[in-house]
Amino acid sequence: MAGTPPRSPLAPEQFPSLPQISGVSFAAVQAGVRYAGRTDVMLARIAPGSVMAGVFTKSSTRAAPVLDCQSKIGADSDAGAAIIVNSGNANAFTGKNGIEATRAVTSAVAEALDLPETRVFSSSTGVIGEPLPHQRITAKIAELKAALDERAIRSAAEAIRTTDTYPKGAGAQIDIDGKTVSISGIAKGSGMIAPDMATMLVYIFTDAKIARADLQAMVSDLNQATFNSITVDSDTSTSDSLLIAATGTSGADVTGSVAFRAALHGVMKDLALQVVRDGEGATKLVEIQVTGAQTDADARIHGLSIANSPLVKTAIAGEDPNWGRIVMAIGKSGAAADRDLLSIRFGDVLVAENGWVSPNYREDEGASYMKNAELVIGVDLGLGSGKSTVWTCDLTHGYIAINADYRS
């Protein structure tokens, strides 16, 4: 790439202090997969007795590492596990070479850490269609193993970045039956972000005790309301993956725990919104709340139609309260709508109702609200009880500049 873009104006002030997860250690190195002078490979080692779960993109052109992870994730095992990730090259649309490169990397990690190869999960992110120079990664496995440290999760977050302008992390701690349960997660994602599971990689670690099937069901469900409810540019990556490891080292069984589910939901939502905050060229974080639809599914269709509309997103970038573009996006979505029942709000400002601009609406109020860095657009269809919330960002000249230079 021509250079790392400036830090997003929506970025958190600093990387959070995350709880250490007993049974998980991290390392990161510079392997020169594509980038010079920055860490680009991370390794996480996970203790024996841990369970793994995950969700993955449904793209028809899934990368070789995604297919490999999907083939492994449903197996139960008492052996330890590992996650190895490289940035700079997606190892996607690389045919037989992609399969061989993935196996070379996972086999090398398995040998170094004395693990079954079926317990090594890999991800690759970056440019599509170029062979992965896997020898650069395997040459660094010994160095990664030597550097493994329970405190090095931030280094891991740095290593998985591509066009991200900052490393992303989130964590939580809760009390379950007098025992402290910790959750820590990292993510990467900035562009090519759209639900399914909206180039995004997510790794979450917890010391909770839970059966693999129960963890899988929980993560799959929570994914719908978090990573599958964000969009930056409507483009779904070939590489989207979320992996979660539960070591059980806290001794706290969280099966059926409402508190654990809420904490995990919070971590996942935090990471998902950080991805939107770092949307390529973004200057606005936008929450779209759709209510009054015939069904929740219809509400989601309307929300995504608004969130993915270039006309809506450029109006937001220009701080223009152009509610007509919201109406347009609703009308084209394909879900049920009645023009004369619609109401639209920008924050607390009622903009339109009953199929027309609100008689009390003042353009200067709408324009003033649109200057905020974080916006809420509310739409009520007036048809039923269906509702959905999705998050997006604006579309600026920065998005074009970043993506025009992506392979330069």
Residues carrying an active site annotation: 199
**Which amino acid does the sequence have at 1?**
M
Give the other-Cβ count within 10 Å of 369's Cβ. 18
Q: How far apart are CA 193 and CA 324, in angstroms?
A: 25
Structure tokens at 299: 């509400």
Residue 56: Cβ-neighbour burial (10 angstroms; 0-12, 13-18, 19+): buried
Q: How far apart are CA 244 and CA 178, in angstroms?
A: 24
Contacts of 86 (CB under 8 A, 6+ apart): 31, 33, 40, 41, 105, 123, 124, 125, 126, 132, 137
Q: How far apart are CA 154 and CA 228, in angstroms?
A: 25
User: With contact defined as beta carbons under 8 Å apart, do 92 and 124 qualify?
Assistant: yes
User: If we measure between CA atoms, which residue out of 251, 239, 174, 191 comes closest to residue 392?
Assistant: 191
3-state helix, strand, coil in the chain (%, to 5): 35, 25, 40
CA 93 to chain centre: 22
